[in-house]
Amino acid sequence: MQFSASQIAQIINGTVEGNPDIVVNSFGKIEEAQSGQLAFLANPKYEDYLYTTRASIIIISNTQEIKKEINSTLIRVPDAYSAFAILLDKYQQIKAHLLTGIQEPVFIHATVKKGENIFIGAFAYLGENVIIGNASKIHPGVYLGNNVTIGENSIIHPGVKIYHDCIIGSGVVIHANTVIGSDGFGFAPQTDGSLKKVPQIGNVIIEDFVEIGSNTTIDRATIGSTIIRSGAKLDNLLQIAHNVEVGNNTVIAAQTGISGSTKIGKNVMIGGQAGIVGHIQIADGTKINAQSGVSKTIKLPNTAVTGSPAYDYTSALRSQAIAKNLPQLEKRLKDLEELVKRLQNNQ
């Protein structure tokens, strides 16, 4: 696919400086880009490449000063990084739109309802009463259990498994090998010491515009629903247990584990390898540092915590600063003890 500078400027609401008819057909990093590629400059430390790059078109911010001669056509925008992200998203949408049809072999139950302009890849399995919304893409090797619903314009990448009765919204992206709706971890201890499985009869609801990384597991609810609210972004290798709720626009980094029935508010940021116990609540806007262990409810919105067990971030920094000075403080304490002894001996 080829795009001219004027077409790109129209997509990102930019202003062209140079040849509006010059075309590009791929993307490149500004330090490596060649003729026919588009690059962008957002970080000032790469400014020198602005004058040496071979990129045909460069997206730059309105505030960027030009100090030397430039051979590339420029497109100026308020925020180069955001504009480039918009352009990449549009590019992906165009590529996805071109991907339509049903490959063979697949299994599609007779009761499946298929929207328009969908794609179903080879070796996919679609069970009874599955619904696929318009323009959604089901890549090879995907399993959709009975009564699964996929909204419009969603992308289910290769190897994803979505168990029965789960509901996926519109504009959702689920990356490879993620499992949605496997059983929650529920076992009842018996008098003989054995563990009896508690049936997990709920489901998982993924609302609109959620993105889920690869190899993540989201368990179905025991009763009711495990819910990922609209706009949430989940990284790779997460474990989200039964009956958890993740709020709107919350971001969770890789290798985090969230135990059952915990309710996480909206606009929360959780760093990698954090652990959160079950049956607690995390207030809106909370920031949880990487490798933190959260064992109690966080009631105050916009709180930042760190450590295990996690506590106030500012207090934690102060504690760390004091800890660094402990050897010196120990010496001062010993000196004071010696001074007290000498004063007592002189009495």
Question: What are the tokens at 294?
Answer: 């959260």
- Considering the domain architecture, whether residues 94 and 110 belong to the same structural domain is answered as no
- In this structure, the answer to whether residues 18 and 46 fall within a common structural domain is yes
Return d(Cα 160, Cα 137) in angstroms, integer. Answer: 12
Nearest CA among 38, 49, 33 for reference residue 8: 38
**Residue matched to tokens 């996929």:** 150
Question: Residue 175 catalytic?
Answer: no
**What is the pLDDT, as a whole number, of residue 123?**
97
Q: What is the mean pLDDT of residues 255-273?
A: 98
Kindly report, residue by residue over 113-127, the tens digit of the pLDDT. Answer: 999 999 999 999 999
pLDDT above 90: residue 318: no
- Tell me, yes or no, whether 326 and 200 share the same domain: no
Name the more confident of 305 and 96: 305
End position of a domain, from candidates 60, 77, 98: 98
Residue 316: pLDDT over 80: no
| Phi, psi at 212, each rounded to 5° | -125, 130
Same domain flag for 73 and 60:
yes
Please indicate, yes or no, whether residues 107 and 243 belong to a single structural domain of this protein: yes
Instruction: Give the tens place of pLDDT for each residue, 19-57.
Output: 999 999 999 999 999 999 999 999 988 999 999 999 999
Same domain, 53 and 152: no
**Mean pLDDT value across the chain:** 94
pLDDT at 311 (0 to 100): 65
Q: Where are the alpha helices (DSSP H) in the chain?
A: 5-12, 80-98, 313-324, 326-345
Peptide bond into 309 cis (omega under 30): yes
Tokens of 218: 């989201």
Task: Identify whether residues 159 and 178 lie together within a single domain.
Answer: yes
The CATH number that applies at residue 118 is 2.160.10.10
* Spatial separation of the C-alpha atoms in residues 277 and 294, rounded to whole Å: 6
Shared-domain flag, residues 331 and 286: no
Spatial CB neighbours of 28, under 8 Å, sequence gap ≥ 6: 34, 37, 38, 39, 55
Give yes or no: residues 148 and 59 share one domain: no
The structure tokens 């075309």 sit at 23
Question: Residues 139, 157, 175, 242: which is the catalytic one?
Answer: 242
User: 68 and 169 in one domain?
Assistant: no
**Over residues 188-214, mean pLDDT:** 96
CA distance 347 to 337: 16
Residues with Cβ within 8 Å of residue 338, at least 6 apart in sequence:
none
d(CA 248, CA 230): 5
Q: Which domain holds residue 225?
A: 101-315
Q: Are residues 141 and 79 in the same domain?
A: no
pLDDT at 93 over 70: yes
List, for residues 63-83, the tens digit of each pLDDT value: 999 999 999 999 999 999 999
pLDDT tens digits for range 142-192: 999 999 999 999 999 999 999 999 999 999 999 999 999 999 999 999 999
pLDDT for the residue 281 = 98
Strand partners, 15: 76
Give the number of domains in the chain: 3
Place of tokens 């991907």: 99
3-state secondary structure 89-141: HHHHHHHHHHCCEECCCCEECCCCEECCCCEECCCCEECCCCEECCCCEECCC
What is the C-alpha to C-alpha distance for residues 278 and 123, in angstroms, rounded to an integer?
Answer: 37
194 secondary structure, DSSP code: -
**What residues form DSSP beta bridges with 24?**
3
- Based on the domain organization, do 152 and 10 belong to the same domain? no
Contacts of 214 (CB under 8 A, 6+ apart): 157, 175, 176, 177, 178, 236, 237
